[in-house]
Amino acid sequence: MTAQLLPVVVFITVSLLSFTTGSNWGVIAITMPIAFPLAQTFDVSIPLVMGALFSASGFGSHACFYSDSTVLSAQGAGCRTHEHALTQLPYALLGAAVAAILFVVMA
């Protein structure tokens, strides 16, 4: 682990956790006590790690097929949750890829 990789590792890990659980704030609450001491140890910017946590949590919750935001959006649009999630997934993955690249560059 290096200081340059910490933000992107946090982003990818929290993205996967948030995607698999469908939780947004719960994952942040669990990972903050782990990510912040690591950032202090490696002398990484805390706001950068916070950005990785929040953006990863938002990505995971948005891309998840059964998260509350997907269910409510699908109901509002009058379609099935699976259909809605599949239409949103390419945009979410594109945003996640750009964010991951920028977290490497900014560290």
CB-based contact 52:10 (threshold 8 Å): yes
User: Given the structure tokens 């669990």, which residue do they identify?
Assistant: 30
- What DSSP designation does 43 have? T
Write the pLDDT tens digit of every residue in 41-98. 999 999 999 999 999 999 988 899 888 888 999 999 999 999 998 999 999 999 999 9
Using CA of residue 101, residue 86, residue 23, residue 54, what is the dihedral sign? positive
Amino acid identity for residue 58 in this structure? G
Asked whether the whole model's pTM tops 0.75, one would answer yes
